[in-house]
Amino acid sequence: MRVETILPVARQRMNTVRASGSLVDAAKLLLETHKALLIVCRDDGVMAGVLTKTDIVKQVAQHCDVLDTICLSDVMTKVVTSCRVEDALHDVLASMKAKGLVHVPVVDQGSRPCGVVNARDALHALLREVKDDDRVLRTYIRGTGYR
């Protein structure tokens, strides 16, 4: 199973912002419960980093008096774990688990974002695949399939 199988959901989870954007505007975009990651892009649309709710909370705690002057490019995570639509979903999930990530950006060949994989979405898709495989195998063993 590839990342592309959950791309419609990944696209719904995606929010992009410009690296020159403000921290306050970024925080407003993350108000929704199921969106915890912003993909920070350069002016040409290429991913430059990511910003999470945790990143924003840290900045608020440290710099609450000057929030309007903080630029996203100064606080974003610049070394980003990402995936591509052709990557195996199992491998992406394993990487997320190893690195303690819940969200991973999906990027194209030019590093432009096209979605965000959420661990829960990936697990649900893999579970559906296992259930489908199980159903096909049981049908075959019972002799009711593949005639």
CATH code at 105?
Answer: 3.10.580.10
Backbone angles phi, psi at 145, to 5 degrees: -125, 170
Q: What is the pLDDT along the chain (147 residues), one digit of tens a residue?
A: 899 999 999 998 899 999 999 888 898 888 876 778 999 999 999 999 999 988 988 888 887 777 778 888 988 999 999 999 999 999 999 999 999 999 999 999 999 999 999 999 999 998 888 776 667 666 766 776 555
Q: Which structural domain, as residue segments, surrounds residue 34?
A: 3-141
Please give the single-letter amino acid code of residue 23. L
Q: Report the number of distinct structural domains present in the chain.
A: 1
DSSP 77-122: B-S---B-TTSBHHHHHHHHHHHT-SEEEEE-TTS-EEEEEEHHHH
Rounded to 5 degrees, φ, ψ at 88 are -70, 130
Q: Is the residue at 12 inside a domain?
A: yes
Answer yes or no: is 147 within a domain.
Answer: no
Question: Is 50 part of any domain?
Answer: yes
